[in-house]
């Protein structure tokens, strides 16, 4: 069983550019989560999908951020008009609603640097 994968692993961009990250969850996991981790802090919840439905968005997710999971499998997180404050590690996690235990498994993350 392969783990959660994320692409790219690193992204350097200039302020004002748009970026898109991809997350592939563990197969058959119907729940997918995005978290953001800044330097020296623990991860913070951004948003969550159950199948293709986005069920919650944190207030951290400004209108420049959008996430999709169109077929209930992989997910994308897009940041428009990036700002230096968006520099962080973006982590994806997955689990299944019904199969226990209720453990979230994390991918390796995408490290974003906005210059």
Backbone angles phi, psi at 79, to 5 degrees: -120, 120
Question: Contacting other proteins (CB under 8 A), which of 11, 29, 31, 69?
Answer: 31
Identify the sign of the CA torsion 109, 110, 111, 114.
negative
Q: Which is nearer to other proteins, 80 or 89 (CB)?
A: 89
Question: Contacting other proteins (CB under 8 A), which of 23, 48, 77, 82?
Answer: 48
Element (H, E) at 29: none
Q: Which is nearer to other proteins, 56 or 83 (CB)?
A: 56
Identify the sign of the CA torsion 22, 23, 28, 30.
negative
- 33 makes contact with other proteins (CB under 8 A): yes
Q: How far is the CB of 78 from other proteins (least distance, A)?
A: 21
Question: Contacting other proteins (CB under 8 A), which of 7, 44, 52, 68?
Answer: 44
Write the CB contacts of 103 (distance below 8 Å, at least 6 apart in sequence).
Answer: 95
Q: Return the structure tokens found at 60.
A: 């951290």
Query: Which residues contribute to the site for other proteins (CB under 8 A)?
Result: 31, 33, 35, 37, 40-45, 48, 56, 89, 91, 93, 101-106, 108-109, 111
């Amino acid at each position: 069983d392969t783990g959660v994968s994320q692409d790219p692993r690193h992204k350097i961009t200039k302020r004002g550019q748009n970026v898109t990250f991809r997350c592939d969850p563990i197969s058959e996991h119907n729940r997918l989560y995005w978290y953001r981790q800044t330097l020296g802090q623990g991860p913070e919840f951004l948003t969550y999908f159950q199948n293709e439905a986005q069920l919650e968005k944190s207030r951290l997710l400004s209108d420049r951020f959008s996430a999709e999971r169109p077929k209930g499998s992989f997910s994308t997180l897009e940041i428009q008009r990036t700002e230096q404050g968006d520099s962080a590690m973006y982590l994806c996690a997955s689990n299944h609603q019904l199969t226990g235990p209720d453990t979230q498994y994390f991918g390796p993350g995408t490290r974003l640097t906005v210059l």
